[in-house]
Amino acid sequence: MSALLEVQSLTAGYGRIDVLHDISISVGTHGNVGLFGPNGHGKTTLLRTISGLLKTKSGTITFDGKPIANASPRSIVDMGLIHVPQGNRLFPDLTIAECLTLGAYTKRARADEAANREKVVKIFPKLAERWRQKVRTLSGGERQMVSIGTALMGSPKLLILDEPTLGLAPKIKEELCASVLDISKGGVPLIVVEQDVEFLLELSQHLYLINHGEVATEIKPGETMDHAEIMALYFGQ
């Protein structure tokens, strides 16, 4: 099975400052991919480069067999690679229904709009109750649900979630984690950045520790690793 997404020797960053140095990851060969590591070490930068928000300085990104490095975010979304950014404030003055409609904006997704909407309602029944409510009036958890729901409206072939549970209350977090697991079981492969190691281990089979803009450790399925070891990687010995 060839990789759905292949990042090879990628270097990228902001302005003259490189954040990622020669980073390589491969997604889709061993189930969901989890990225973890200390804050400020390039996880979000990596995801933003993959989805086209940031330019690549060198290296290649291949999705579904086609090169996507430096392609426009629009064409990348149209191919089915969909990114739910961190702490997404989404569109504060749009209603939930409007956000979901926007999620299906690409031609490819428009065909499945009705079916996808049903899927989203099934995964997040809460949203259906407040269809006409504006995003700015929602709680953090609900907003995250709208963000993920909007992404699902785009018929993702690969879904990127950047810290979906960031800043959520424990009970809502649990609910959201269950929904994300549902989405994964529904057949959408994921790349997840997550600080909650338990959740990350439950969700993903293939892990990368990102440190100083490089892959410090790769953990493939079978090479299981317990909590203590991950903690050691995280915080040092």
Partner 1 sequence: MDATAQILFGGLFQGSLYAMMAVGLALIWTTIGVFNFTHGVMMMLGAYIAWTLSEIGLPFALVLPLVIVVMAAVGWALQASVVRPLIGRPNIVLVVVITTLAAASLIENATLEIWGPRSKQLPPLIAGNTTILGVGVSLHQIAIIVIAPVVLAALWFFLNRTRLGLALRAVAQNEDASLLVGLNVKALYGLAFAISAALAALAGIFMGGYRFMSPVMGADPLLKALIVVVFGGLSSVSGPIFAAYLIGFFEAICSYYFGLYWTPALLFAVLIVTLMIRPEGIFGSKSRGLA
Applying CB under 8 A, which residues contact partner 1?
51-53, 73-74, 77-78, 82-85, 88-94, 98, 101-103, 105-106, 109, 136, 150, 154
Give whichever of 69 and 90 is closer to partner 1, judged by the CB atom.
Answer: 90
Q: How far is the CB of 75 from partner 1 (least distance, A)?
A: 8
Nearer to partner 1, 106 or 184 (CB): 106
Task: In angstroms, give the least distance from the CB of 92 to partner 1.
Answer: 6
Q: Residue 198 has which token pair?
A: 């338990």
Shortest Å, Cβ 211 to partner 1 = 26
The owner of tokens 């729901």 is 149
CA-to-CA separations, 110 to 102, 113, 116, in angstroms, rounded? 10, 5, 9
Give the residue with the Cβ less far from partner 1, 10 or 77.
Answer: 77
56 touches 214 (CB < 8 A): no
Say how far apart CA 179 and CA 159 lie, in whole Å.
14
Residue (85 or 141) nearer to partner 1, CB: 85
Specify the residue, 56 or 88, whose C-beta has the smaller distance to partner 1: 88
DSSP for residue 135: G
Note the helical H segments in the chain. Answer: 43-50, 73-79, 96-103, 107-110, 113-123, 125-129, 140-152, 170-185, 197-203, 227-235
Residue 48's nearest CA partner among 91, 15, 83 is 83
Q: Closest separation between CB of residue 124 and partner 1, Å? A: 17
Question: Could you give the CA distance from residue 119 to residue 235 in angstroms, rounded to a whole number?
Answer: 39
Whole-angstrom Cα distance, residue 90 to residue 60?
A: 29
Least CB distance to partner 1 at residue 7 (A):
18
Query: d(Cα 189, Cα 19) in Å, to the nearest integer?
Result: 26
Q: How far is the CB of 72 from partner 1 (least distance, A)?
A: 8
Least distance between partner 1 and beta carbon 62 (Å): 20
* Beta carbon nearer to partner 1, 41 or 83: 83
Query: Toward partner 1, which CB reaches closer, 6 or 162?
Result: 162
Q: How far apart are CA 116 and CA 109, in angstroms?
A: 9
